């Protein structure tokens, strides 16, 4: 029997990149999938392409920074599957620019999506995990949340925030039997950087040395299936072939 049969995973940013790789991997392991995205067309195309069994899928189109929409979508998913076992916070954005280039709108949008969105999802899901006495939250973080990246100031600051949020939630949720972990990612070959293509681009050889979305899925599954005695509080996934 697949490792996650009967479990339910909520994945944000699920129609592309890392979110889609996670949905594929957890779906193959038998999990029910609650798939969130702000892109209705992308989510619909993903469902058509993947052909997951309808009885194991629940979707929501929303902005993770919209508190009311998050609350509603989580309540609907809990009603559908009687709980949520795993929350995978993936949805994120990035803008190029240091302090002189980053606009106020870009700053606010980045923090709202990358940090407030994680907070809102956790705030909505954790009461259900607490009631069950079990659960795992995995926050996708970045090496730029541990060392500064002036060229992507707002993104780096948001990921420093994710690291702090993860540590705080881990301590708060520990007595409830809930694990909260961060997955600290080096360069991953996805379309995440498309918005900065005019500023930053990589050739095929460079992209081949990056992590893949499937590498991230492997590490995430290791966290989700870890022993009840073990808490992988943070895993840093290096693109070790990068030069």
User: How far is it, in rounded angstroms, from Cα 108 to Cα 16?
Assistant: 23
User: How far is it, in rounded angstroms, from Cα 8 to Cα 172?
Assistant: 22
Q: Are 152 and 163 in contact (CB under 8 A)?
A: no
* CA nearest neighbour of 89 among 38, 18, 150, 27: 18
Q: Write out the two tokens for 237.
A: 């996934």
Active site includes 160?
no
User: How far is it, in rounded angstroms, from Cα 217 to Cα 204?
Assistant: 22
Q: Are 173 and 126 in contact (CB under 8 A)?
A: yes
Residue 140 belongs to what H/E stretch?
A: strand 135-142
User: How far is it, in rounded angstroms, from Cα 243 to Cα 42?
Assistant: 34
Of 86, 96, 118, 155, which one is the catalytic site residue?
155
Residue 83 CB partners (closer than 8 Å, separation 6+): 8, 128, 129, 132
CA 115 vs. chain centroid, Å, equals 11
φ/ψ of 89, rounded to 5, equals -85, 105
User: How far is it, in rounded angstroms, from Cα 36 to Cα 53?
Assistant: 17
- Catalytic residue numbers? 155
């Amino acid at each position: 029997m697949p490792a996650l049969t009967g479990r339910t995973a909520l994945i944000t940013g699920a129609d592309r990149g890392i979110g889609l790789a996670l949905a594929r991997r957890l779906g193959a392991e038998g999990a029910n999938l609650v798939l969130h995205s702000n892109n209705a067309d992308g989510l619909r195309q993903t469902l058509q392409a993947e052909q997951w069994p309808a009885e194991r899928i629940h979707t929501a189109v929303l902005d993770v920074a919209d508190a009311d929409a998050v609350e509603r979508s989580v309540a609907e998913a809990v009603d559908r599957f009687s709980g949520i076992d795993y929350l995978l916070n993936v949805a994120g954005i990035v803008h190029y620019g240091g302090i002189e280039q980053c606009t106020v709108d870009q700053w606010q949008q980045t923090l709202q999506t990358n940090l407030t969105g994680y907070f809102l999802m956790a705030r909505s899901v954790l009461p259900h995990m607490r009631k069950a006495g079990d659960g795992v939250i995995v926050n996708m973080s970045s090496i730029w949340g541990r060392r500064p990246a002036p060229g992507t100031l707002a993104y780096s600051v948001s990921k420093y925030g994710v690291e702090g949020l993860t540590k705080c939630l881990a301590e708060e949720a520990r007595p409830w039997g809930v694990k909260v972990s961060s997955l600290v990612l080096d360069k991953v070959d996805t379309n995440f950087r498309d918005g900065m293509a005019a500023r930053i681009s990589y050739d095929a050889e460079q992209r081949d040395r990056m992590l893949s979305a499937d590498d991230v899925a492997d590490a995430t599954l290791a966290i989700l299936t870890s022993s009840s005695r073990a808490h992988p509080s943070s895993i840093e996934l290096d693109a070790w072939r990068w030069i």
